[in-house]
Structure 1
Amino acid sequence: MSLLLLATAASGIAAGNGVATDTMLFEGAILLGVATLFVMIFRRLGLGAVLGYLIAGALVGPHGLGLVGGGESKLAFAEIGIAFLLFLVGLELHPRRLWELRRAIFGLGMAQVVVSGLILTALILATLGFSWQAALALGLPLALSSTAQVLPSLKSSGTINSPFGEKAFSILLFQDLAIVPMITIVAALSRAPADPSAPPGWQMGLYTVGAIAALVLVGRFIVNPLLRLVGRYGERELFVVVGLLVVLASAAFMHSLHLSTALGAFIAGVMLADSPYRHEIEADVEPFRLVLLGLFFLAVGMVLDVGAVMERPWLVLGLAAGLVAVKVGVLTGIARVYGMSWKAALGLGLLLSQGGEFGFLLFTQASDALLIAPEAASLFSAVVTLSMVSTPFLMLFARNLEFAPDRDGQELAGPEDAPRGSALVIGYGRFGQIVSQMLHAVDCSVTLIDKKPSQIELSERFDTKVYFGDGLRLDLLRRAGADDVKLIVYCIDDRSVDAAALRPVVEAFPNAKVLMRVFDRRQLMAIDGAGASGAVREVFESSIALGLMALEQLDIDRREIEDVEAALRHLDEVRLDAQLVDGDLSAGMDHRFQPGGSREGTSILEKLRETRRAAKLAKEEAEGEPFA
């Protein structure tokens, strides 16, 4: 990513006259309009949004109809979307989990980059007549895959945390790390005069280690305390600002050291993975990621040199097909060595068979280093773009073959394999286990679904069959038999689930009652209007249980304890109704017990006590002797 280029473009617009602003608005309207049309068409055809963005960009770009220019500058801006994507992925990976993936990152990832890069280098050297230096500068970048294409696919399918998804992510993460040595190799082979401002390779390596350490310290001692401070104010806008600040500041810091900006954003995300505000930040940053990634693929389509393709179409198509074939073969073979089944290994090869967005950057650097001609850089950029265009078709082929994530050579069973039951329990953690036990107690047949492979494996040790999948996906619920069940119970620990995520489930399966476990009243307000039949706040019920225990330890009369619980529940119900109506957490603040007494709380307690006294008096009169 070129943040410097972005800043230059932004300052040019700010300093220029109205013509620049008019052009920006006009081009933006064209891009969004054509993108909307093509994405809808390709979604309708089942080919995915990415291909729609690529075709739309190529159509309106300078090499197509010429309606929009400046593809390179838009690409530099849009690559911020990759940083946002890596940041969100980092939020889902606790540092301990990242350490557990080290073998896949530095074993599987390194093997893929080295083997694929050397084979592609040898083929270019043998067939196209380049020098070995030029072939190496072209072959190594071609070994990289598209993070911007692969990770959204893994996230949307719910397989990012499966063994299959973790292997794919590990390879992509190592590829991001490999950018530093690749830049060093190009610089070492350069025929251009040395740039005195560019740091040597060993210094970049030290910069990488130091930068990662610095980001870790900043995340722990600055960002986390800042989030706690922001959390006290409860302002949504501040979370948005802090989320954007973390992503852009970490990316800018890495860019200033000539390192991978996406890697910096990823490290920042990992440092916040155990923050209590992780879900809040994720929900705030996600819309920016979606928009910027869409713009990224539009820009990739715009920089596709259609003229270079049309001059030598068979050569470009042959090179793109060769690139995909080599990477599929290499990845399938390496994945088999690492114990994956043939089906999952071939699925991994198809998933990562395309060229990557960082190839554009490395081809430009190789051209600046006088290792390849600008025409060669344009040619291989077209090859990478065409390989990215092929990915949706390859993934469609993979889905038709029913590729599934593997688990040490075995497949995780999907819910389509489950016997049909009367209830679906989504999430089989500590909460879901208790709910499912109560359903089993009344002989209700239950299908259990969870998207965490580790939880599925743990459950099997206790002879409990749990099926793999994301229970918020309508297609998966249908395969699990949701059209015929009476009950769908969400026991997942995901505070980002809101009405927008839950409403499609309620509307798609009107015969099923939908119940939801929510974390607190904030999430309960977020799902309001989704049509769920009921929801339980985990922290509310558990805190009441502990509060009752605390009153018992103070030797409070049992009847007084019961009155306090009844009054508290009534106050909370009234307060929650006010919050739902106003959409404001501060509503109904007077309906709670406070130090020094509460008018509403005291009034309710007095009514309860009076009711209890009246009931006692009536009971005594009923049990007494009749009057003479």
Structure 2
Amino acid sequence: MESVVLQGIAFLLAAVLAPTLFKRLGFGTAVGYLFAGVLIGPSGLRIFDDAESVMDVAQLGVVLLLFVIGLDTRLSRLVAMRRDILLLGNGQVWITAVVLAAIAYAFGLNVSAAIVVGFAFALSGTAIALQLLDERGDMSRPYGQRGFAVLLTQDLLTVPMLALIPIFLIGTGAASRTGSAIGDTALALAVIGGIVLVGRYLIDYLFRILATAGAREVMTSAALLVVVSAALAASYAGLSMALGAFLAGVMLAGSSYRHQLQADVEPFRGLLLALFFMSIGMLIDVIEVWLHAGLIGLMLVTYLLLKISLAALLARFAGSTWADALRFGLLLSAAGEFSFVLVPLIAGQNLIDAQTTNMLIAIAALSMVVTPPLAVFGERLLKRLTRPEKAPEEDFSAVNGSALIVGFGRFGQIASQLLLAEGIDATLIDAKPERIRAAARFGFKVYYGQGTNLDMLRAAGAEQARLILVCVDDPDESLAICRMIRGAFPNVKLHARAYDRAHAIALTNAGVDYQIRETFESAIVAGRTMLETLGVPSERARQTERDVRHRDLERLELQRLQGIDAGSDFLHQNALQPEPLKQPDHEAQSLNAEADEILHQESQQGTAS
């Protein structure tokens, strides 16, 4: 009992300290977990002696990770990724597998063992790659989406590969469930269909029944039951457990209980994923690595260079930029978790000796260790090598607009539509080349220019313009532009977008003729609509809106004159409020009672349904 408690404390201590330290060093949390595994594993303090048994439990971390990703992945997204899945994913796996198998054969492995080793090391570490994307927030970027599509393809390809393994390893019976490759494939397809049907038609109904119990632990238990059941069903059919969990998540992506499910499994996912990374670290035999450091290092560098190069070239061929292609290659450089299953399998058939087995496992584990820092280094290198995009040179000779809009973001785009609808010529200026190109695709002529450049503003017709609207994103830059315009062109009408109350006051003090807070109007309209929905008569709601607007203007002017910090407005709002809304008490009571009655009726209807 004491040993179990000691192991638990060691795991939790490592899970707290290691990721924090390595995150600060810039290597990411995954590397911290891997080194923590080396420290507390058989090659370190020996707190954990059996790394393989730890990994059996830790695999659930990857399972839960794929389930959570599945919850955020709708079928429409999978359809959109079909090109990357069919072409890029298959190309990466099979081309890499052939190259690695040829190298393994050249080093003395027989054909069967070389093919299995080539396929095993062609796959990538799902947990490592997804952790990198999650930490960077790059899952939605083009290279992140393609990387995810390839990882999903790799999980799908384990189905035919597991069915074909008995052919390569004759007499082992490994991975066969029905005794034939056709039977194994049929069983796998049947299980996939079962997971899809149950997830689509039964699980949501089950959670609806369980939710009536009102017990949080019941929902948590049910969520874990769904994930583990789908994973075990997939495993029984010879599929990846992670693939089964992912399919279950996809089927529940449209469920009303999706967010509750994600919240329930998230704590377990985090801890078990940490345990998985630690178990990888425990598999590294430090003594074996030390004794054959030169050979293992050479093989590791060769493996990473080949895998990164092939993946990057394929991504570039598929249309990625060179920068994204390199990110894609680095993302997929680590060996996959599948290698820790297949290498011992062929070793058990005496197709490779113990020393080769240890070296292959060490290379697979070390590739997972070095991939996160390698990705960090690659990102820093790309930032140094990538030159800033050269700004286009604009010709303002044809400009004759009576209005000038500085900043063509979301705010400027909407404001300009009203001018264009009335046929008013407006000169549009923005400092982001990618935004200018995007606007051109929709027929907008946007000129490149920095709003803080007075010569550029003159060239754009600021002296002849009747009105200038400043709506850049940065409040400090916006204020600087407005001050410069007011000083250089004192007669022009100057309007500006304000970020908040403090910015609005600063703009007013800078001489802006009109300013509007970017969220004020939408919030006012939302509040009025809420009143009307709650039963307040429309005219009364509009009167309340006018009163709130008037009160806000008075409060804003009072703050400006007294120099009060607008950021603390919420704390002293009532103190600055000129007067309450003028409304007889009996009318207020009547309106409140009417609104309460409507809410009560809607609540009763919701309960009955």
Q: TM-score per shorter chain, which class?
A: 0.5 to 0.7
Paired letter, 1:50? A
Aligned to 1:366: 346
What is the deviation of 1:559?
Answer: 5.8
CA shift digits 1:558-601 (9 cap, x unpaired): 668889999xxxxxxxxxxxxxxxxxxxxxxxxxxxxxxxxx99
Structure 2 residue 370 is the aligned partner of structure 1 residue 390: yes
What is the deviation of 1:175?
Answer: 0.9
In the alignment, the residues of structure 2 paired with residue 226 and residue 160 of structure 1 have an alpha-carbon distance, to the nearest angstrom, of: 31
Aligned to 2:155: 176
Matches within 5 A, 1:508-519: none
Structure 2 residue 138 is the aligned partner of structure 1 residue 159: yes
Paired letter, 1:171? V
Q: Which SS does the other structure have where 1:401 is aligned? A: helix
Closer, same or farther: CA 154–422 of 1 in aligned 2, 3 Å = farther
Paired letter, 1:251? A
CA shift digits 1:230-286 (9 cap, x unpaired): 556665444433332221121121122222110011111111222233233223322
CA shift digits 1:187-220 (9 cap, x unpaired): 2122545469733322222222222211111111
What is the deviation of 1:80?
Answer: 0.7
For these two proteins, the number of residue pairs brought into alignment is: 477
Partners of 1:250 and 1:265 within 8 A in 2: yes
Paired letter, 1:272? L
Aligned to 2:18: 38
Paired letter, 2:299? L
Structure 2 residue 240 is the aligned partner of structure 1 residue 254: no
Partners of 1:563 and 1:605 within 8 A in 2: no
Aligned to 1:617: none
Partners of 1:423 and 1:486 within 8 A in 2: no
Closer, same or farther: CA 191–89 of 1 in aligned 2, 3 Å = same
In the alignment, the residues of structure 2 paired with residue 433 and residue 226 of structure 1 have an alpha-carbon distance, to the nearest angstrom, of: 47
Aligned to 1:188: 167
Structure 2 residue 591 is the aligned partner of structure 1 residue 605: yes
Q: Which SS does the other structure have where 1:159 is aligned? A: coil
Aligned to 1:143: 122
Matches within 5 A, 1:24-103: 24-103=4-83
Partners of 1:186 and 1:369 within 8 A in 2: no
Partners of 2:19 and 2:33 within 8 A in 1: yes
What is the deviation of 1:141?
Answer: 0.3
Partners of 1:343 and 1:403 within 8 A in 2: no
Aligned to 1:346: 326
In the alignment, the residues of structure 2 paired with residue 173 and residue 37 of structure 1 have an alpha-carbon distance, to the nearest angstrom, of: 32
In the alignment, the residues of structure 2 paired with residue 201 and residue 342 of structure 1 have an alpha-carbon distance, to the nearest angstrom, of: 40
Paired letter, 2:271? V
What is the deviation of 1:423?
Answer: 11
In the alignment, the residues of structure 2 paired with residue 72 and residue 178 of structure 1 have an alpha-carbon distance, to the nearest angstrom, of: 24
In the alignment, the residues of structure 1 paired with residue 300 and residue 378 of structure 2 have an alpha-carbon distance, to the nearest angstrom, of: 19
Structure 2 residue 116 is the aligned partner of structure 1 residue 130: no
In the alignment, the residues of structure 2 paired with residue 433 and residue 238 of structure 1 have an alpha-carbon distance, to the nearest angstrom, of: 49
Closer, same or farther: CA 197–204 of 1 in aligned 2, 3 Å = closer
Closer, same or farther: CA 302–64 of 1 in aligned 2, 3 Å = same
Paired letter, 2:304? V
Aligned to 1:280: 260
What is the deviation of 1:108?
Answer: 0.5
Aligned to 1:209: 189
What is the deviation of 1:550?
Answer: 11
Closer, same or farther: CA 292–540 of 1 in aligned 2, 3 Å = farther
What is the deviation of 1:174?
Answer: 0.9
Q: Which SS does the other structure have where 2:158 is aligned? A: helix
Partners of 2:97 and 2:121 within 8 A in 1: yes
Aligned to 1:118: 98
In the alignment, the residues of structure 2 paired with residue 154 and residue 206 of structure 1 have an alpha-carbon distance, to the nearest angstrom, of: 34
Closer, same or farther: CA 301–223 of 1 in aligned 2, 3 Å = same
Partners of 1:424 and 1:446 within 8 A in 2: yes
Partners of 2:132 and 2:372 within 8 A in 1: no
Q: Which SS does the other structure have where 1:118 is aligned? A: helix
Paired letter, 2:307? K
The range that moved more, 168-177 or 332-341, is 332-341
Q: Which SS does the other structure have where 1:356 is aligned? A: coil
Matches within 5 A, 1:569-584: none
Q: Which SS does the other structure have where 2:109 is aligned? A: coil
Indicate the structure (1 or 2) with the bigger Cα radius of gyration: 2
Q: Which SS does the other structure have where 2:113 is aligned? A: helix
Partners of 1:332 and 1:348 within 8 A in 2: yes
Unaligned runs of 5+ in 1: 1-18, 414-420, 466-479, 488-510, 516-532, 567-599, 610-628
Structure 2 residue 308 is the aligned partner of structure 1 residue 328: yes
CA shift digits 1:400-436 (9 cap, x unpaired): 13469x9xxxx999xxxxxxx99999xx7xx999799
Closer, same or farther: CA 60–243 of 1 in aligned 2, 3 Å = same
What is the deviation of 1:107?
Answer: 0.9
Identity of aligned residues (%): 33
Paired letter, 2:141? S
In the alignment, the residues of structure 2 paired with residue 90 and residue 432 of structure 1 have an alpha-carbon distance, to the nearest angstrom, of: 37
Paired letter, 2:344? T
What is the deviation of 1:602?
Answer: 9.6
Q: Which SS does the other structure have where 2:130 is aligned? A: helix
Partners of 1:424 and 1:482 within 8 A in 2: no
Aligned to 1:626: none
Aligned to 1:290: 270
Partners of 2:531 and 2:541 within 8 A in 1: no
Unaligned runs of 5+ in 2: 391-404, 419-426, 447-471, 480-497, 503-516, 547-585, 596-609
In the alignment, the residues of structure 1 paired with residue 310 and residue 322 of structure 2 have an alpha-carbon distance, to the nearest angstrom, of: 13
Paired letter, 2:301? A
Partners of 1:436 and 1:446 within 8 A in 2: no
Paired letter, 1:280? Q
Closer, same or farther: CA 93–432 of 1 in aligned 2, 3 Å = farther
Partners of 1:144 and 1:356 within 8 A in 2: yes
The range that moved more, 85-94 or 201-210, is 201-210
In the alignment, the residues of structure 2 paired with residue 108 and residue 196 of structure 1 have an alpha-carbon distance, to the nearest angstrom, of: 27
In the alignment, the residues of structure 1 paired with residue 84 and residue 302 of structure 2 have an alpha-carbon distance, to the nearest angstrom, of: 26
Aligned to 1:471: none
In the alignment, the residues of structure 2 paired with residue 436 and residue 276 of structure 1 have an alpha-carbon distance, to the nearest angstrom, of: 39
Paired letter, 2:286? V
Structure 2 residue 227 is the aligned partner of structure 1 residue 241: no
Closer, same or farther: CA 544–179 of 1 in aligned 2, 3 Å = farther
CA RMSD in angstroms comes to 4.7
Q: TM-score, normalised by structure 2?
A: 0.67
Closer, same or farther: CA 193–391 of 1 in aligned 2, 3 Å = closer
Aligned to 1:623: none
Q: Which SS does the other structure have where 2:202 is aligned? A: helix
Aligned to 1:416: none
In the alignment, the residues of structure 1 paired with residue 527 and residue 473 of structure 2 have an alpha-carbon distance, to the nearest angstrom, of: 36
The range that moved more, 169-178 or 456-465, is 456-465
What is the deviation of 1:605?
Answer: 2.5
